[in-house]
């Protein structure tokens, strides 16, 4: 009872009110400090979460890059192995062909097709009529002659433009020279000078029989040969087979063209 009375007297005093006020401000400051610490911890937590997300995204990006590099490496390994296998197969096939070439090959009945063979006969027959004397023996017709066999080529990349080109017929003139050999003994030497070049052109030279791309390539090859022989001064005869078949009338036509070509080389 006395304690209660003492407490009530103390509550009425100004000192007690001052103490309560101090306690109130103390607890308020503590609460504010706790709120600030809680906010700071939340912000730190949020920052850590963002850092973790960024790290996770970076790890995912690195993983995807590693997977991509691994896929590229596997692809290159596969292609490299395929190339080695192909090379080995080609080498084995080449070795087998070299050893058993006769088993894979056979002789053709003719080195020319039907049109080319008949036209070859017409050319030779026309030369017999043009040269009725012994001079005829000096003019020889060679079929399917590679251009690089009778034309000197530049030793650079332009050489490849002519290496695969052929001429259907090449008329050469045979010349004889007497040379001195060992012990001063004379001997005869023969050489064959290109005189007239002849092409037998079927419809594929002006119609897209094998497609537009093939026709364009054929036109380019024809233009190359035209410019080449005109520039070198070799008479160049192009004989067209309009319907793709050679006929008896072509014999007179080639004879006339050969006569003009022979006249042109006779004046040189």
Per-residue pLDDT of the chain (268 residues; tens, 9 = 90+): 555 555 555 555 666 666 766 777 777 888 888 888 888 888 888 888 888 888 888 888 888 888 898 899 999 999 999 999 999 999 998 998 888 888 888 888 888 989 999 999 999 999 999 988 888 889 999 999 999 889 988 777 777 778 889 999 999 999 988 877 777 788 788 899 999 999 999 988 899 889 999 999 999 999 999 999 999 999 999 999 988 889 999 999 999 999 999 998 876 6
What residue ranges do the domains of the chain occupy?
Answer: 24-106, 114-266
Exposure letters 229-243 (e unless 16+ CB within 10 A, then b)? beeeebbbbebebee
CA distance 60 to 66: 10
Name the residue among 262, 216, 218 with its Cα closest to residue 237.
262
State the DSSP code for 77. Answer: H
Residue 161: the pLDDT is 77
Tell me the percentage of the chain whose pLDDT exceeds 90: 38
Tokens 């009425």 locate to 12
Instruction: Confirm whether pTM is higher than 0.85.
Output: no
Name the residue among 192, 187, 222 with its Cα closest to residue 204.
222
Name the residue among 98, 126, 94 with its Cα closest to residue 248.
126
Residue 130 has φ and ψ, to the nearest 5°, of: -75, -45
Measured over all CA atoms, what is the biggest interatomic distance in the chain, rounded to whole angstroms?
Answer: 169
3-state secondary structure of 171: strand
Residue 182: the pLDDT is 75
Number of Cβ within a 10 Å radius of residue 259: 13
Q: Which residues contact 117 (CB under 8 A, 6 or more apart)?
A: 110
Residue 173: the pLDDT is 92
CA distance 188 to 22: 139
Residue 153: the pLDDT is 82
Residue 41: the pLDDT is 83
Residue 235: the pLDDT is 95
CA distance 126 to 266: 17
């Amino acid at each position: 009872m006395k304690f209660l009375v003492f407490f009530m007297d103390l509550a009425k005093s100004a000192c007690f009110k001052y103490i309560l006020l101090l306690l109130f401000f103390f607890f308020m400051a503590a609460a504010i400090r706790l709120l600030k610490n809680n906010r700071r911890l939340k912000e730190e937590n949020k920052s850590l979460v963002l850092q973790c997300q960024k790290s996770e995204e970076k790890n995912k990006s690195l993983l995807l890059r590693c997977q991509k590099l691994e896929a590229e490496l596997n692809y290159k390994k596969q292609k490299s192995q395929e190339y080695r296998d192909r090379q080995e197969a080609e080498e084995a096939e080449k070795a087998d062909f070299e050893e058993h070439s006769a088993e894979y090959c056979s002789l053709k009945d003719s080195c020319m097709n039907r049109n080319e063979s008949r036209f070859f006969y017409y050319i030779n027959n026309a030369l017999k009529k043009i040269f009725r004397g012994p001079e005829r023996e000096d003019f020889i017709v060679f079929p399917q002659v590679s251009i690089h066999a009778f034309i000197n080529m530049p030793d650079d990349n332009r050489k490849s433009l002519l290496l695969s080109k052929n001429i259907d017929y090449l008329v050469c003139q045979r010349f004889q020279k007497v040379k001195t050999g060992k012990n001063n003994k004379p001997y005869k030497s023969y050489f064959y000078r290109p005189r007239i070049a002849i092409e037998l052109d079927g419809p594929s030279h002006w119609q897209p029989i094998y497609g537009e791309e093939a026709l364009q390539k054929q036109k380019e090859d024809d233009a190359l040969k035209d410019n080449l022989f005109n520039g070198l001064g070799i008479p160049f005869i192009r004989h067209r087979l309009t319907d793709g078949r050679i006929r008896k009338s072509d014999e007179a036509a080639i004879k006339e063209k050969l006569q003009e070509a022979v006249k042109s080389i006779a004046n040189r």
